Chains A and B, each alone.
Chain A
Amino acid sequence: MGERLSGGGVPGRRRGSDGALSDPRNERDAATLETVLAAALRTGDLDPQAEQRAVAAFRASHGEGTHRAARTRRRDDWRRPEERRARRPVKMTFGVVFASLTLGGVAVAAIGSVSTSTHAGGADRGTTHPSALAPDRPGGAPSSASSLGSRPTDGPAHAKDTEAHCRAYERVQGHGKALDAKVWKQLVAAAGGKAEVAAYCSEQLTRATATPGRSAGTGRSGEGAADAGNGAAGKTGASGSNTGGTGNTAGKTRAGGGQGGGKHK
Protein backbone atom coordinates (compact mmCIF):
# COMPACT_ATOMS: atom_id res chain seq x y z
CA MET A 1 0.00 0.00 0.00
CA GLY A 2 2.62 2.43 1.09
CA GLU A 3 4.82 1.37 -1.74
CA ARG A 4 2.16 1.85 -4.31
CA LEU A 5 1.28 5.34 -3.18
CA SER A 6 4.79 6.50 -2.59
CA GLY A 7 5.69 5.05 -5.92
CA GLY A 8 3.18 7.42 -7.42
CA GLY A 9 4.18 10.52 -5.57
CA VAL A 10 7.65 10.29 -4.20
CA PRO A 11 9.90 9.78 -7.23
CA GLY A 12 8.36 12.75 -8.95
CA ARG A 13 9.01 14.90 -5.94
CA ARG A 14 12.49 13.66 -5.42
CA ARG A 15 13.66 13.85 -8.98
CA GLY A 16 16.52 16.26 -9.41
CA SER A 17 16.99 16.83 -5.71
CA ASP A 18 19.96 14.53 -5.30
CA GLY A 19 23.06 16.03 -3.88
CA ALA A 20 21.55 19.39 -2.98
CA LEU A 21 21.59 19.89 0.78
CA SER A 22 19.58 23.08 0.53
CA ASP A 23 16.38 24.29 2.11
CA PRO A 24 14.32 23.40 -0.94
CA ARG A 25 15.57 19.87 -0.59
CA ASN A 26 14.68 19.82 3.09
CA GLU A 27 11.25 21.11 2.25
CA ARG A 28 10.90 18.47 -0.38
CA ASP A 29 11.97 15.92 2.16
CA ALA A 30 9.41 17.18 4.61
CA ALA A 31 6.73 17.07 1.97
CA THR A 32 7.82 13.60 0.98
CA LEU A 33 7.71 12.41 4.52
CA GLU A 34 4.21 13.76 5.01
CA THR A 35 3.00 12.21 1.81
CA VAL A 36 4.49 8.87 2.70
CA LEU A 37 3.17 8.97 6.23
CA ALA A 38 -0.30 9.90 5.07
CA ALA A 39 -0.24 7.15 2.48
CA ALA A 40 0.96 4.58 4.98
CA LEU A 41 -1.47 5.53 7.73
CA ARG A 42 -4.57 6.39 5.70
CA THR A 43 -5.38 2.89 4.71
CA GLY A 44 -8.05 2.74 2.09
CA ASP A 45 -9.80 -0.50 2.85
CA LEU A 46 -12.83 0.30 4.91
CA ASP A 47 -15.11 -2.16 6.58
CA PRO A 48 -18.47 -1.94 4.77
CA GLN A 49 -20.26 -3.17 7.87
CA ALA A 50 -18.85 -0.34 9.91
CA GLU A 51 -20.17 2.07 7.31
CA GLN A 52 -23.58 0.39 7.44
CA ARG A 53 -23.67 0.77 11.21
CA ALA A 54 -22.78 4.43 10.97
CA VAL A 55 -25.43 5.06 8.32
CA ALA A 56 -28.01 3.12 10.35
CA ALA A 57 -27.23 5.26 13.37
CA PHE A 58 -27.58 8.34 11.21
CA ARG A 59 -30.93 7.12 9.90
CA ALA A 60 -32.19 6.39 13.39
CA SER A 61 -31.18 9.79 14.76
CA HIS A 62 -32.60 11.58 11.78
CA GLY A 63 -35.82 9.60 11.89
CA GLU A 64 -36.32 10.47 15.55
CA GLY A 65 -35.91 14.11 14.69
CA THR A 66 -32.88 14.30 16.94
CA HIS A 67 -30.98 16.20 14.29
CA ARG A 68 -33.50 18.93 13.91
CA ALA A 69 -34.03 19.35 17.63
CA ALA A 70 -30.33 19.31 18.44
CA ARG A 71 -28.81 22.56 19.57
CA THR A 72 -25.34 23.45 18.30
CA ARG A 73 -22.97 23.60 21.21
CA ARG A 74 -19.78 25.58 21.02
CA ARG A 75 -17.79 22.44 20.34
CA ASP A 76 -20.08 21.62 17.41
CA ASP A 77 -19.53 24.94 15.71
CA TRP A 78 -16.66 24.43 13.28
CA ARG A 79 -17.45 27.27 10.95
CA ARG A 80 -14.46 29.26 9.87
CA PRO A 81 -13.54 32.11 12.19
CA GLU A 82 -14.32 34.71 9.54
CA GLU A 83 -17.69 33.09 8.96
CA ARG A 84 -18.38 33.01 12.65
CA ARG A 85 -17.09 36.54 12.96
CA ALA A 86 -19.30 37.61 10.09
CA ARG A 87 -22.29 36.26 11.94
CA ARG A 88 -21.25 37.35 15.38
CA PRO A 89 -21.46 41.07 14.64
CA VAL A 90 -25.02 40.53 13.56
CA LYS A 91 -25.72 38.71 16.78
CA MET A 92 -23.72 41.22 18.74
CA THR A 93 -25.41 44.10 17.01
CA PHE A 94 -28.75 42.61 17.85
CA GLY A 95 -27.58 42.06 21.38
CA VAL A 96 -26.25 45.55 21.75
CA VAL A 97 -29.34 47.06 20.18
CA PHE A 98 -31.55 44.89 22.30
CA ALA A 99 -29.60 45.71 25.44
CA SER A 100 -29.62 49.42 24.68
CA LEU A 101 -33.30 49.31 23.90
CA THR A 102 -34.02 47.38 27.04
CA LEU A 103 -31.89 49.61 29.21
CA GLY A 104 -33.10 52.67 27.38
CA GLY A 105 -36.64 51.49 27.79
CA VAL A 106 -36.04 50.93 31.47
CA ALA A 107 -34.43 54.34 31.74
CA VAL A 108 -37.24 55.97 29.81
CA ALA A 109 -39.77 54.07 31.85
CA ALA A 110 -38.01 55.17 35.02
CA ILE A 111 -37.91 58.75 33.79
CA GLY A 112 -41.46 58.41 32.63
CA SER A 113 -42.64 57.04 35.93
CA VAL A 114 -40.75 59.68 37.84
CA SER A 115 -41.87 62.43 35.56
CA THR A 116 -45.40 61.10 35.46
CA SER A 117 -45.43 60.94 39.21
CA THR A 118 -44.18 64.49 39.40
CA HIS A 119 -46.35 65.39 36.51
CA ALA A 120 -49.21 63.58 38.09
CA GLY A 121 -48.69 65.99 40.94
CA GLY A 122 -48.26 68.67 38.37
CA ALA A 123 -51.34 67.55 36.56
CA ASP A 124 -53.12 67.44 39.88
CA ARG A 125 -51.84 70.85 40.51
CA GLY A 126 -52.82 71.74 37.01
CA THR A 127 -56.28 70.40 37.49
CA THR A 128 -56.68 71.53 41.02
CA HIS A 129 -55.22 74.89 40.23
CA PRO A 130 -58.11 76.13 38.14
CA SER A 131 -60.54 74.39 40.45
CA ALA A 132 -58.75 75.99 43.34
CA LEU A 133 -58.90 79.18 41.46
CA ALA A 134 -62.46 78.65 40.36
CA PRO A 135 -63.96 78.86 43.83
CA ASP A 136 -61.58 81.68 44.39
CA ARG A 137 -62.71 83.48 41.37
CA PRO A 138 -66.11 84.69 42.51
CA GLY A 139 -64.65 86.17 45.61
CA GLY A 140 -61.04 85.37 45.24
CA ALA A 141 -60.37 86.56 41.75
CA PRO A 142 -61.52 90.04 42.54
CA SER A 143 -59.59 89.85 45.73
CA SER A 144 -56.54 88.55 43.96
CA ALA A 145 -57.17 90.92 41.13
CA SER A 146 -57.56 93.69 43.60
CA SER A 147 -54.59 92.57 45.54
CA LEU A 148 -52.60 92.17 42.35
CA GLY A 149 -54.14 95.07 40.54
CA SER A 150 -55.38 97.19 43.35
CA ARG A 151 -54.09 100.09 41.41
CA PRO A 152 -55.95 99.18 38.21
CA THR A 153 -59.21 98.55 40.06
CA ASP A 154 -58.68 101.23 42.58
CA GLY A 155 -56.97 103.38 40.08
CA PRO A 156 -59.84 104.01 37.68
CA ALA A 157 -62.20 104.68 40.53
CA HIS A 158 -59.68 106.88 42.22
CA ALA A 159 -58.80 108.54 38.93
CA LYS A 160 -62.45 109.08 38.23
CA ASP A 161 -62.86 110.67 41.59
CA THR A 162 -59.81 112.77 41.09
CA GLU A 163 -61.03 113.74 37.67
CA ALA A 164 -64.38 114.85 39.02
CA HIS A 165 -62.73 116.67 41.84
CA CYS A 166 -60.45 118.37 39.42
CA ARG A 167 -63.31 119.40 37.15
CA ALA A 168 -65.11 120.68 40.17
CA TYR A 169 -61.93 122.39 41.24
CA GLU A 170 -61.64 123.98 37.84
CA ARG A 171 -65.20 125.12 37.98
CA VAL A 172 -65.09 126.41 41.46
CA GLN A 173 -61.53 127.63 41.22
CA GLY A 174 -61.25 130.92 42.94
CA HIS A 175 -64.76 130.71 44.35
CA GLY A 176 -63.93 129.87 47.88
CA LYS A 177 -65.51 126.97 49.60
CA ALA A 178 -67.39 125.43 46.69
CA LEU A 179 -65.49 122.21 47.14
CA ASP A 180 -66.38 119.87 49.89
CA ALA A 181 -63.72 120.20 52.47
CA LYS A 182 -63.26 116.46 52.59
CA VAL A 183 -62.91 116.16 48.83
CA TRP A 184 -60.58 119.13 48.80
CA LYS A 185 -58.42 117.59 51.41
CA GLN A 186 -58.27 114.37 49.38
CA LEU A 187 -57.35 116.31 46.29
CA VAL A 188 -54.69 118.23 48.11
CA ALA A 189 -53.39 115.01 49.58
CA ALA A 190 -53.33 113.35 46.16
CA ALA A 191 -51.62 116.33 44.56
CA GLY A 192 -49.14 116.54 47.40
CA GLY A 193 -49.86 120.05 48.44
CA LYS A 194 -52.26 122.96 47.93
CA ALA A 195 -49.93 124.61 45.47
CA GLU A 196 -49.68 121.42 43.46
CA VAL A 197 -53.40 120.92 43.00
CA ALA A 198 -53.65 122.97 39.82
CA ALA A 199 -50.75 121.19 38.17
CA TYR A 200 -51.94 117.82 39.42
CA CYS A 201 -55.43 118.38 38.11
CA SER A 202 -54.29 119.58 34.73
CA GLU A 203 -52.12 116.46 34.49
CA GLN A 204 -54.98 114.24 35.52
CA LEU A 205 -57.40 115.81 33.11
CA THR A 206 -54.94 115.68 30.24
CA ARG A 207 -54.36 111.97 30.90
CA ALA A 208 -58.10 111.34 31.18
CA THR A 209 -58.85 112.96 27.87
CA ALA A 210 -55.80 111.39 26.20
CA THR A 211 -57.09 107.86 27.11
CA PRO A 212 -60.79 108.00 26.53
CA GLY A 213 -61.10 104.17 26.39
CA ARG A 214 -59.81 104.02 29.84
CA SER A 215 -61.99 106.71 30.99
CA ALA A 216 -64.83 104.96 29.21
CA GLY A 217 -63.76 101.64 30.69
CA THR A 218 -63.75 103.12 34.09
CA GLY A 219 -67.46 102.85 34.04
CA ARG A 220 -67.13 99.10 33.85
CA SER A 221 -64.16 98.72 36.05
CA GLY A 222 -65.76 95.86 37.89
CA GLU A 223 -66.23 93.98 34.65
CA GLY A 224 -62.70 94.75 33.70
CA ALA A 225 -61.50 93.31 36.93
CA ALA A 226 -63.62 90.24 36.36
CA ASP A 227 -62.12 90.00 32.90
CA ALA A 228 -58.70 90.27 34.38
CA GLY A 229 -59.60 87.54 36.80
CA ASN A 230 -60.90 85.38 33.98
CA GLY A 231 -57.79 86.06 32.03
CA ALA A 232 -55.63 85.02 34.92
CA ALA A 233 -57.69 81.92 35.52
CA GLY A 234 -57.64 81.09 31.84
CA LYS A 235 -53.94 81.48 31.78
CA THR A 236 -53.35 79.22 34.73
CA GLY A 237 -55.82 76.83 33.26
CA ALA A 238 -53.86 76.82 30.06
CA SER A 239 -50.63 76.24 31.95
CA GLY A 240 -52.34 73.51 33.89
CA SER A 241 -53.39 71.78 30.71
CA ASN A 242 -49.89 72.33 29.46
CA THR A 243 -48.40 70.46 32.39
CA GLY A 244 -51.05 67.87 31.83
CA GLY A 245 -49.90 67.70 28.27
CA THR A 246 -46.30 67.08 29.26
CA GLY A 247 -47.51 64.43 31.63
CA ASN A 248 -49.35 62.85 28.75
CA THR A 249 -46.34 62.96 26.51
CA ALA A 250 -44.24 61.40 29.22
CA GLY A 251 -46.78 58.68 29.55
CA LYS A 252 -46.77 58.21 25.81
CA THR A 253 -42.99 58.00 25.74
CA ARG A 254 -43.01 55.41 28.43
CA ALA A 255 -45.65 53.46 26.61
CA GLY A 256 -43.54 53.73 23.46
CA GLY A 257 -40.48 52.46 25.32
CA GLY A 258 -42.47 49.58 26.65
CA GLN A 259 -43.73 48.77 23.20
CA GLY A 260 -40.23 49.02 21.80
CA GLY A 261 -38.89 46.65 24.41
CA GLY A 262 -41.76 44.30 23.80
CA LYS A 263 -41.19 44.38 20.09
CA HIS A 264 -37.54 43.55 20.38
CA LYS A 265 -38.13 40.71 22.73
Chain B
Amino acid sequence: MGQVRQPGRAQARDGELGAAVARAQDGDEAAFAIAYRIVQPGLLGYLRGIVGDDAEDVASDAWLEIARDFGRFKGDGAGFRGWTATIARHRALDHLRRQRVRPRAGGTEQDVLDLPGAHSTHEQALESLSTERALELVRGLPRDQAEAVLLRVVVGLDGPAAARVLGKRPGAVRTAAHRGLKRLARQLGIGGEAEEGVTDGAYRTLGQST
Protein backbone atom coordinates (compact mmCIF):
# COMPACT_ATOMS: atom_id res chain seq x y z
CA MET B 1 0.00 0.00 0.00
CA GLY B 2 2.67 2.43 0.96
CA GLN B 3 4.33 1.97 -2.36
CA VAL B 4 3.96 4.84 -4.73
CA ARG B 5 3.42 3.54 -8.18
CA GLN B 6 5.21 5.09 -11.06
CA PRO B 7 3.05 6.43 -13.81
CA GLY B 8 3.92 4.54 -16.90
CA ARG B 9 4.23 7.64 -18.98
CA ALA B 10 7.04 9.16 -16.95
CA GLN B 11 9.28 6.13 -16.95
CA ALA B 12 8.33 4.48 -20.20
CA ARG B 13 10.64 6.76 -22.13
CA ASP B 14 13.65 6.36 -19.85
CA GLY B 15 15.34 4.14 -22.40
CA GLU B 16 14.74 6.65 -25.16
CA LEU B 17 15.83 9.44 -22.86
CA GLY B 18 19.02 7.62 -21.94
CA ALA B 19 19.88 7.10 -25.59
CA ALA B 20 19.20 10.75 -26.36
CA VAL B 21 21.37 11.85 -23.45
CA ALA B 22 24.19 9.61 -24.60
CA ARG B 23 24.02 11.04 -28.12
CA ALA B 24 23.78 14.58 -26.79
CA GLN B 25 26.95 14.00 -24.80
CA ASP B 26 28.66 13.38 -28.09
CA GLY B 27 27.48 16.81 -29.20
CA ASP B 28 24.20 15.91 -30.91
CA GLU B 29 21.95 18.95 -30.60
CA ALA B 30 18.87 17.18 -31.90
CA ALA B 31 19.34 14.52 -29.24
CA PHE B 32 19.54 17.22 -26.60
CA ALA B 33 16.26 18.64 -27.90
CA ILE B 34 14.70 15.18 -27.62
CA ALA B 35 15.89 14.88 -24.05
CA TYR B 36 14.46 18.31 -23.36
CA ARG B 37 11.06 17.33 -24.72
CA ILE B 38 11.00 14.16 -22.67
CA VAL B 39 12.06 15.77 -19.41
CA GLN B 40 10.48 19.20 -19.57
CA PRO B 41 6.81 18.25 -18.90
CA GLY B 42 7.63 16.57 -15.61
CA LEU B 43 10.03 19.30 -14.66
CA LEU B 44 7.45 21.97 -15.36
CA GLY B 45 4.81 20.08 -13.39
CA TYR B 46 7.17 19.81 -10.44
CA LEU B 47 8.11 23.48 -10.65
CA ARG B 48 4.49 24.55 -10.89
CA GLY B 49 3.89 22.70 -7.67
CA ILE B 50 6.64 24.70 -5.96
CA VAL B 51 6.75 28.14 -7.59
CA GLY B 52 3.38 28.27 -9.30
CA ASP B 53 3.13 30.61 -12.26
CA ASP B 54 6.87 31.30 -12.30
CA ALA B 55 7.56 27.70 -13.24
CA GLU B 56 8.36 28.51 -16.87
CA ASP B 57 10.94 31.13 -15.95
CA VAL B 58 12.55 28.91 -13.35
CA ALA B 59 12.60 26.03 -15.82
CA SER B 60 14.32 28.27 -18.35
CA ASP B 61 17.03 29.12 -15.84
CA ALA B 62 17.35 25.49 -14.92
CA TRP B 63 17.81 24.47 -18.54
CA LEU B 64 20.57 27.00 -19.04
CA GLU B 65 22.40 25.37 -16.15
CA ILE B 66 21.56 21.89 -17.42
CA ALA B 67 22.94 22.78 -20.86
CA ARG B 68 26.07 24.31 -19.34
CA ASP B 69 26.83 21.43 -16.96
CA PHE B 70 25.69 18.73 -19.31
CA GLY B 71 29.23 17.46 -19.78
CA ARG B 72 29.50 16.75 -16.08
CA PHE B 73 26.48 14.50 -15.96
CA LYS B 74 26.95 10.74 -15.71
CA GLY B 75 24.04 8.36 -15.83
CA ASP B 76 21.15 6.94 -17.80
CA GLY B 77 17.68 8.28 -18.60
CA ALA B 78 16.35 7.86 -15.08
CA GLY B 79 19.52 9.45 -13.77
CA PHE B 80 19.03 12.39 -16.09
CA ARG B 81 15.56 12.94 -14.66
CA GLY B 82 17.00 13.03 -11.17
CA TRP B 83 19.89 15.28 -12.14
CA THR B 84 17.69 17.79 -13.96
CA ALA B 85 15.16 17.73 -11.12
CA THR B 86 17.93 18.57 -8.66
CA ILE B 87 19.03 21.53 -10.75
CA ALA B 88 15.43 22.68 -11.20
CA ARG B 89 14.83 22.41 -7.50
CA HIS B 90 17.86 24.52 -6.67
CA ARG B 91 16.73 27.16 -9.15
CA ALA B 92 13.24 27.04 -7.65
CA LEU B 93 14.53 27.46 -4.12
CA ASP B 94 16.72 30.36 -5.27
CA HIS B 95 13.68 31.89 -6.90
CA LEU B 96 11.63 31.52 -3.73
CA ARG B 97 14.44 33.00 -1.67
CA ARG B 98 14.63 35.97 -3.99
CA GLN B 99 10.93 36.51 -3.92
CA ARG B 100 10.66 35.89 -0.21
CA VAL B 101 7.52 34.05 -1.04
CA ARG B 102 6.36 31.09 0.91
CA PRO B 103 6.41 28.04 -1.37
CA ARG B 104 2.86 27.22 -0.41
CA ALA B 105 0.95 30.18 -1.73
CA GLY B 106 -2.05 28.12 -2.77
CA GLY B 107 -5.49 28.02 -1.25
CA THR B 108 -6.05 27.25 2.39
CA GLU B 109 -6.39 23.68 3.43
CA GLN B 110 -9.96 24.21 4.52
CA ASP B 111 -10.97 25.33 1.04
CA VAL B 112 -9.28 22.33 -0.44
CA LEU B 113 -10.89 19.96 2.00
CA ASP B 114 -14.35 21.32 1.37
CA LEU B 115 -14.28 21.08 -2.37
CA PRO B 116 -14.36 17.33 -3.03
CA GLY B 117 -17.78 17.13 -1.44
CA ALA B 118 -19.21 18.77 -4.50
CA HIS B 119 -18.51 15.65 -6.55
CA SER B 120 -20.81 12.77 -6.09
CA THR B 121 -18.62 10.01 -7.47
CA HIS B 122 -14.94 9.26 -7.82
CA GLU B 123 -15.17 9.32 -11.53
CA GLN B 124 -16.56 12.79 -11.55
CA ALA B 125 -13.85 14.01 -9.23
CA LEU B 126 -11.11 12.47 -11.27
CA GLU B 127 -12.39 13.25 -14.69
CA SER B 128 -12.90 16.85 -13.84
CA LEU B 129 -9.46 17.17 -12.29
CA SER B 130 -7.96 20.04 -14.17
CA THR B 131 -4.35 21.09 -14.01
CA GLU B 132 -5.33 24.07 -11.88
CA ARG B 133 -7.29 21.94 -9.48
CA ALA B 134 -4.56 19.34 -9.23
CA LEU B 135 -1.99 22.04 -8.57
CA GLU B 136 -4.20 23.60 -5.99
CA LEU B 137 -4.54 20.30 -4.21
CA VAL B 138 -0.85 19.50 -4.34
CA ARG B 139 0.19 22.93 -3.20
CA GLY B 140 -2.21 22.56 -0.31
CA LEU B 141 -0.07 19.72 0.98
CA PRO B 142 2.74 20.24 3.47
CA ARG B 143 5.83 21.12 1.53
CA ASP B 144 7.69 17.82 2.06
CA GLN B 145 4.64 15.81 1.01
CA ALA B 146 4.00 17.99 -2.03
CA GLU B 147 7.59 17.67 -3.22
CA ALA B 148 7.69 13.93 -2.61
CA VAL B 149 4.45 13.41 -4.54
CA LEU B 150 5.55 15.65 -7.39
CA LEU B 151 8.96 14.06 -7.78
CA ARG B 152 7.65 10.54 -7.72
CA VAL B 153 4.40 10.93 -9.61
CA VAL B 154 5.00 13.84 -11.94
CA VAL B 155 8.75 13.76 -12.58
CA GLY B 156 8.72 9.98 -12.43
CA LEU B 157 11.62 9.37 -10.05
CA ASP B 158 11.93 6.25 -7.98
CA GLY B 159 12.20 6.45 -4.20
CA PRO B 160 16.00 6.67 -3.88
CA ALA B 161 16.26 9.23 -6.67
CA ALA B 162 13.54 11.42 -5.16
CA ALA B 163 15.29 11.15 -1.82
CA ARG B 164 18.54 12.22 -3.39
CA VAL B 165 16.93 15.22 -5.04
CA LEU B 166 15.42 16.27 -1.73
CA GLY B 167 18.53 15.43 0.29
CA LYS B 168 16.57 13.18 2.60
CA ARG B 169 16.48 9.55 3.56
CA PRO B 170 14.45 7.33 1.19
CA GLY B 171 12.25 6.20 4.07
CA ALA B 172 11.29 9.76 4.95
CA VAL B 173 10.49 10.56 1.33
CA ARG B 174 8.45 7.39 0.93
CA THR B 175 6.44 8.24 4.01
CA ALA B 176 5.93 11.80 2.86
CA ALA B 177 4.77 10.68 -0.59
CA HIS B 178 2.45 8.12 0.94
CA ARG B 179 0.86 10.63 3.28
CA GLY B 180 0.55 13.21 0.55
CA LEU B 181 -1.18 10.80 -1.77
CA LYS B 182 -3.49 9.59 0.98
CA ARG B 183 -4.47 13.10 1.65
CA LEU B 184 -5.05 13.90 -2.00
CA ALA B 185 -7.12 10.75 -2.36
CA ARG B 186 -9.22 11.80 0.58
CA GLN B 187 -9.69 15.27 -0.83
CA LEU B 188 -10.71 13.85 -4.16
CA GLY B 189 -13.04 11.41 -2.55
CA ILE B 190 -11.05 8.36 -3.59
CA GLY B 191 -10.78 5.42 -1.22
CA GLY B 192 -12.75 4.48 1.88
CA GLU B 193 -13.82 7.86 3.17
CA ALA B 194 -15.42 6.47 6.32
CA GLU B 195 -12.19 4.73 7.33
CA GLU B 196 -10.07 7.68 6.44
CA GLY B 197 -12.34 10.02 8.38
CA VAL B 198 -11.42 8.33 11.62
CA THR B 199 -7.73 8.82 11.11
CA ASP B 200 -8.04 12.13 9.41
CA GLY B 201 -7.03 14.20 12.42
CA ALA B 202 -4.16 11.92 13.23
CA TYR B 203 -2.91 12.13 9.68
CA ARG B 204 -3.02 15.85 9.62
CA THR B 205 -1.19 16.08 12.90
CA LEU B 206 1.47 13.75 11.64
CA GLY B 207 1.64 15.55 8.35
CA GLN B 208 2.17 18.86 10.05
CA SER B 209 4.67 17.51 12.51
CA THR B 210 6.90 16.26 9.78
Chain A contacts to B: CB under 8 angstroms: 1-3, 6-7, 10-11, 14, 21, 23, 26-27, 29-44, 46-47, 50-51, 53-55, 57-62, 66-73, 75-81
Contacts and interface: CB of A to CB of B under 8 A. Distances in A.
B85 to A, nearest CB: 10
A87 to B, nearest CB: 10
Contacts of B9: 38-39, 42
B60 interface: yes
Interface string B75-103: 11011101100100000000000000000
Given A10-B123, A55-B33, A76 B131 contact: no
Interface string B137-169: 010000000000110011010001100000000
A244 B208 CA distance: 81
Contacts of B75: 77-80
Given A26-B1, A76-B72, A35 B7 contact: yes
Contacts of A59: 29
Interface of B: 1, 4-7, 9-10, 24-25, 27, 29, 32-33, 36-37, 40-42, 44-46, 48-49, 56, 59-60, 63-64, 66-76, 78-80, 82-83, 86, 122-123, 126-131, 133-135, 138, 149-150, 153-154, 156, 160-161, 181, 184-185, 188, 190-192
Contact of A78 (B49, B74, B149): B74
Contact of A76 (B63, B78, B83, B149): B83
Contacts of B27: 62, 67
Can you list the 6 inter-chain pairs with the closest CB atoms, starting with the nearest? A67-B71, A78-B79, A78-B75, A57-B67, A40-B134, A41-B45
B130 A71 contact: no
A23 B130 contact: no
Contacts of B192: 21, 26
Given A50-B63, A78-B80, A79-B76, A38 B5 contact: no
A77 B45 contact: no
Contacts of B160: 81
B36 A54 contact: yes
Contact of A2 (B36, B60, B131): B131
9 contacts: A2-B128, A34-B7, A37-B134, A40-B130, A54-B67, A67-B70, A70-B71, A70-B72, A76-B72
A6 B83 CA distance: 29
A59 B86 CA distance: 22
Looking at chain A's contact residues, is the secondary structure mostly helix, strand, loop, or mixed?
A: helix
Nearest to B133: A40
B153 A77 contact: no
A29 B67 contact: no
A254 B166 CA distance: 52
Contacts of B80: 78
A77 B72 CA distance: 8
B127 A7 contact: yes
A202 B154 CA distance: 122
Nearest to B30: A55
Given A58-B32, A77-B75, A2 B64 contact: no
A165 to B, nearest CB: 104
A41 B29 contact: no
B170 to A, nearest CB: 12
Contact of B60 (A31, A32, A50, A69): A50
Nearest to A35: B7
B141 to A, nearest CB: 11
Given A10-B127, A51-B40, 7 more contacts: A3-B127, A6-B129, A41-B150, A42-B42, A60-B67, A62-B29, A78-B82
